Structure 1
Amino acid sequence: MHVRPSRKGTMPFGEYGTWYRVTGDLAAERPALVVVHGGPGSTHDYLLNLADLAAETGCPVVHYDQIGNGGSTHLPDSDADFWTVQLFLDELDNLLTGLGIADNYVLFGQSWGGPLAARHAADAPRGLRGLVIANASASYPLWRQEMDVLRAQLPPGVNETLLRHEAAGTTNTPEYFEAMKVFYDKHVCRLDPWPRDYQASFYEVYNDSTVYFTMNGPSEFHVTGTLRDWSVESRLPDIEAPTLLISGRYDEATPATVQPYQDLIPDVRWELFQESSHLPHLEEPELFRAVMTDFLKNL
């Protein structure tokens, strides 16, 4: 069971709405930990256990669903040019301001949320006290290169099946899905069965795949969407906030994809979780909580 939220609501964002959930007291002196989920096109569900950090650190924890998914406004008929990085940066700014925490907060960005949070941090917002970039690539071109490396290491026949369906445009078939899951079980979530929270987000992506398919593509390792050439590397030296990097030994976010953060952010340290892939907060929850609590308490 998760900690009960102290508050839920929908923040107006232009003509749309951003669903959010707060655990703890936003009026507390400690900075709010704002959790930026992956995808793009996933939901907050798979990161819900970060709510436990509110009691352990005194930092209120804010989860939200990015526009297009979960409890936020869905826009299945929007054109591809509607879904931009700037849209999600604006949404994050709007949420911080609307909740009254823009002058005292920490960002936790996981997967796609990592480069999104890094891009936000690169503008040196005055209220940002710290930054956590978890299981995230700094560059989609780098990510695509590394996906080819990981795919080549899959059991015999799996990548051939994936390639055949990708070439034929039949990535929505059960055979592609089964081959895709071989990769996910190795590099996304190594727990069997997948935890309920992760399953909730995973199936939400496919319940409304507008954002994910438009910006990313049909799978984690076949990036054909509008983000395929996007990178935050050039802006990383502008990040002033103390930064914690998190990745897993078996992570689809391989060391090569994380290295630019380590090389270019001025104040940074990197924690590698030896028994995890893409979800250390679920795969090694006790160690994850210890690492996060130490980081937050020492800001």
Structure 2
Amino acid sequence: MTPAPSAKGTVPFGEYRTWYRVTGDLGSGLPPVVVVHGGPGSTHDYLLSLTRLTEAGHAVVHYDQLGNGGSTHLPGRGPEFWTVDLFLDQLDQLLKALNIADSYILYGQSWGGLLVAKHAAARPAGLRGLVIANAPASYPLWLEEMAVLRAQLPPGVNETLLRHEAAGTTDSEEYYQAMTPFYEKHVCRLKPWPRDYQASFYEVYNDPTVYYAMNGPTEFHVIGSLKDWGVEDCIADIDVPTLIISGRYDEATPKTVQPYQDLIPDARWEIFEESSHLPHLEEPELFQDVMTAYLKRL
């Protein structure tokens, strides 16, 4: 199939700019799928394969959240600037700027899953469907499960990680090397890592402002402003058909995802048996089938 045409640009977000990419036709009559990436502080690159959803007739919108990628970088801003509300406002502004706020579907991955859940809980009139992918319902739950997963790493690895975390030397080469077994088991099981995922990984590495402020130095050592935050208090208010996605080896373990299934009235949970945190890259054909079936159901 010929790839759908895409258009890129930026739109204002206050005094800043939001970079976006539209693949397919926003005027197709079907609600576009707006893709909200993880991090916080990552970029859209690792989710580019979702452009295949245009095969189901839906336009696909990618964008970079403030602070990284093609959007405005603000390396001088302190942790107090980077808030959940800031990123909710950016999403709202993008929907308005692209004239799709009256009909759209959200796909949120990892941190983006919590963000779209929070957005959906306010019951925006134009939201038609919601996909929460590889996302915990709260960071306290996430941290509980990180301790479990870390304890299962090869002998000595977690001890090395803990030693550097206690000493504040998480930027050392030894810490970086000790991170690798966790990432290869629970983030992306493909070897080598796909180019799209590497692109986002290095974007965070090159400007970790947002990631460090809100998350922390790694996926499993969350010491930033999000460490006590979650969406369990509001997701019962979500009133659109919701697809929940996770991987069998996902760092977002079943315990962290379960509240979505329990609390969202119309939710269906799909677990990808051969995937960790990136089923769209690890099991792309099954992922396409699951997403296409969900979109048809809408």
Size of the aligned set, in residue pairs, is 297
Which letter does structure 2 place at the counterpart of 1:154?
Answer: L
What is the CA deviation profile of residues 118-163 of structure 1, one whole-angstrom value per residue up to 9, with x for unaligned ones?
A: 0000000111000000000010000000000000000000000100
Match of 2:33 in 1: 33
Written as runs of structure 1 = structure 2, the 5 A alignment for 1:141-180 is 141-180=140-179
Written as runs of structure 1 = structure 2, the 5 A alignment for 1:95-174 is 95-174=94-173
- Structure 1: state its 5+ residue gaps: none
Instruction: Give the TM-score normalised by the residue count of structure 2.
Output: 0.99
What is the CA-CA distance between 1:79 and the residue it aligns to?
A: 1.6
Secondary structure in 2 matching 1:233: coil
Match of 2:284 in 1: 285
Written as runs of structure 1 = structure 2, the 5 A alignment for 1:55-70 is 56-70=55-69
CA shift in 2, pair 1:20/1:157, >3 Å: same
Distance in 1 between the 2:107 and 2:221 partners? 25
Distance in 1 between the 2:161 and 2:72 partners? 32
Match of 1:49 in 2: 49
Which letter does structure 2 place at the counterpart of 1:84?
Answer: T
Distance in 2 between the 1:4 and 1:272 partners? 29
- Structure 2: state its 5+ residue gaps: none
CA contact (8 A) 1:5 1:21 kept: no
What is the CA-CA distance between 1:4 and the residue it aligns to?
A: 6.0
Match of 2:16 in 1: 16
Moved more, 167-176 or 214-223: 167-176
Distance in 2 between the 1:283 and 1:291 partners? 14
CA contact (8 A) 2:188 2:277 kept: yes
Secondary structure in 1 matching 2:294: helix
Secondary structure in 1 matching 2:246: strand
Which letter does structure 1 place at the counterpart of 2:18?
Answer: T
Secondary structure in 1 matching 2:145: helix
Distance in 1 between the 2:5 and 2:211 partners? 27
CA contact (8 A) 1:9 1:21 kept: yes
Which letter does structure 2 place at the counterpart of 1:21?
Answer: R
Structural RMSD (CA):
0.9
What is the CA-CA distance between 1:6 and the residue it aligns to?
A: 2.2
Distance in 1 between the 2:3 and 2:264 partners? 34
What is the CA-CA distance between 1:49 and the residue it aligns to?
A: 0.3
CA contact (8 A) 2:66 2:73 kept: yes
What is the CA-CA distance between 1:80 and the residue it aligns to?
A: 1.0
Written as runs of structure 1 = structure 2, the 5 A alignment for 1:170-209 is 170-209=169-208
Match of 1:80 in 2: 79
Distance in 2 between the 1:288 and 1:16 partners? 34
Instruction: Give the TM-score normalised by the residue count of structure 1.
Output: 0.98
CA shift in 2, pair 1:147/1:298, >3 Å: same
Which letter does structure 2 place at the counterpart of 1:12?
Answer: P
Secondary structure in 1 matching 2:66: coil
Which letter does structure 2 place at the counterpart of 1:97?
Answer: K
What is the CA-CA distance between 1:5 and the residue it aligns to?
A: 4.5
Secondary structure in 2 matching 1:234: coil
CA contact (8 A) 2:4 2:24 kept: no
Percent pairwise identity? 74
Distance in 2 between the 1:93 and 1:86 partners? 10
Distance in 1 between the 2:210 and 2:191 partners? 28
Secondary structure in 2 matching 1:203: helix
Which letter does structure 2 place at the counterpart of 1:256?
Answer: K
